[in-house]
Amino acid sequence: MAFQIPKAVTPQALVEQLKQGKPLNLLDVRESVEWAEGHVEGAKHIPLSQLMERREELEPAQEIIIMCRSGNRSGLACELLHEKGYKVVNMTGGLNAWTSKLVRDVPSNN
């Protein structure tokens, strides 16, 4: 039987929640290069490859909205964290379906 993620949100619905000023816990599980190319303002970045060893950085009792490029890695992250008792929400469609502005990291001159 395939794993069923208990809760999901579309990028459009998430944008609306952010516009309303709703406090959200956002987690981006893409790799560092993808993160630097653009991410949602206020999101925490933990690449999927580091998630299990860094999960203590997350609060299990608070709902965490997890995002990636297409929704596949975030789905896996939801599964991994849900098994450990975290409250998770998968952003379906990922940042490929994101229609709002993204923050881009500016390279330093150092």
The pLDDT of residue 32: 95
- Asked if residue 21 is part of any domain, the answer here is yes
Range of the domain at 66: 8-97
Give domain status of residue 108, yes or no: no
| Average pLDDT of every residue of the chain | 91
Beta bridge partners of 66: 27, 90
Task: Indicate if 78 belongs to the active site.
Answer: no
Residue 2 falls inside a structural domain = no
pLDDT in tens, 2-23: 556 679 999 999 999 999 999 9
Residues 5, 67, 68, 81: which is the catalytic one? 68
User: Per 3-state DSSP, what percentage of the chain is helix, strand, and coil (rounded to 5)?
Assistant: 35, 15, 45
pTM of the full structure: 0.91
What is the count of structural domains for the chain? Answer: 1
The enclosing domain of 29 has a CATH number of: 3.40.250.10
| 91 found inside a domain | yes
Residue 103 lies inside a defined structural domain of this protein: no
Among candidates 41, 44, 15, which has minimal Cα distance to 103? Answer: 41
d(CA 31, CA 24): 21
- Residue 44 is assigned to a structural domain of this protein: yes
Residues 6+ apart with CB under 8 A from 37: 104
Please check whether residue 107 lies inside any domain of the structure. no
Q: How far is CA 71 from CA 44, 56, 62, 95, 96, in A?
A: 16, 23, 21, 8, 9
Q: What is the mean pLDDT for each group of 10 consecutive residues in the chain (110 residues)? A: 73 94 96 95 97 96 96 95 95 93 68
